[in-house]
Structure 1
């Protein structure tokens, strides 16, 4: 038999984005698998060198995936191979998207792909704490109101469970960075960081007093 009350409370905390992540990829088709891999490796190095020259730290350029696949023609015969290398570039320069992209395109031209960009918050601990406090306050208010409606009062807490949610602002850019030879992207290309949010939901069970 139930001897208490269980309620949920939600809290949300927001903060301005302070990180920008770009996922860039380099791809190459070649008749021979070794040639495809070698060319992708060379162009990946060129992209990284261009980014470092723009002030990106070496530790802020990291591989996210590498793939090599056969290409098929008629009757499923292998006609060549495609190699690709994707990397995540992290920067605190939230307005430097166009400048970094231009540098990468200048290094490898139409071999470059821009998969997506993502704004984020580096340190989320304070946001989680704030959202958790708000969630608990809401849960307690609900419990006290419901207890009063039933002519009772809440006592000690019997249990708490928590669920967190965070969805950084991510913009799908799944298109090749082509057609840039006539000027490229504006270095001030407009992207809006906005605010990022943390949501915390608490399920709290109180015993009756």
Structure 2
């Protein structure tokens, strides 16, 4: 068994968000699977075209889920099928949420759903460097304190394990079956942060 001390240090650094991510969906009901799939496909294409016309690049539009299932109905009523297509939308325009949402509503109407939005930092590399440095400083300070308490001298580092977390600012909205939005809807981004935890093993000198 290695002698020494194992400690955990953490460092958290905040930054200003530079990307807005919105999760939109299109949801339709139909009496058969083929119709449900066809209708959700048409309306999804309309939403994507509207978003691209609004300035969203194709590389910032992606499908995150597609579902088709039988919708529960009371016994004795006609069977219906529900189709859903969920789209992840990214925008660098942090203040254009209302207009972007209106573009999607105009394209899909009451078929549009929205699962929420988040503000995030696209490139976290520099924040991670800073958080890692803070985490290591905290780990060393803990180890030095424990070494003094136990009457040992701190030696070299023999092992490090890292865990990363990031905390984007999230806003949740339920736009399901809504039929129009005020273009003046504004959302305000706050700080987003990343956190690094380091488990560090120091040998005794």
What does residue 163 of structure 2 align with?
A: 163
Task: Kindly indicate whether the alpha-carbon contact (under 8 Å) linking 1:43 and 1:108 is maintained by their aligned counterparts in 2.
Answer: yes
Q: Could you tell me how far 1:177 is from its partner in structure 2?
A: 5.1
Q: Does 1:25 align with 2:21?
A: no
- Runs (5+) with no aligned partner, structure 1: none
What does residue 49 of structure 1 align with?
A: 49
2:188 to 178, 188, 192: 192
Deviations 1:30-85 (A, max 9, x none): 11221111111111111111111111001111111111111233338761111111
Q: Could you tell me how far 1:148 is from its partner in structure 2?
A: 2.1
Deviations 1:103-143 (A, max 9, x none): 11111211111111011110111111111100001111111
CA RMSD in angstroms comes to 1.7
Matched residue pairs, number?
205
What does residue 103 of structure 1 align with?
A: 103
Q: Could you tell me how far 1:191 is from its partner in structure 2?
A: 1.0
What does residue 136 of structure 1 align with?
A: 136
Task: Kindly indicate whether the alpha-carbon contact (under 8 Å) linking 1:10 and 1:200 is maintained by their aligned counterparts in 2.
Answer: yes
Taking structure 1 as reference, are residues 32 and 138 closer, same or farther at Cα in structure 2, changes over 3 Å only?
A: same
TM-score, normalization: structure 1? 0.91
Q: Does 1:72 align with 2:69?
A: no
- Runs (5+) with no aligned partner, structure 2: none
Task: Kindly indicate whether the alpha-carbon contact (under 8 Å) linking 1:101 and 1:185 is maintained by their aligned counterparts in 2.
Answer: no
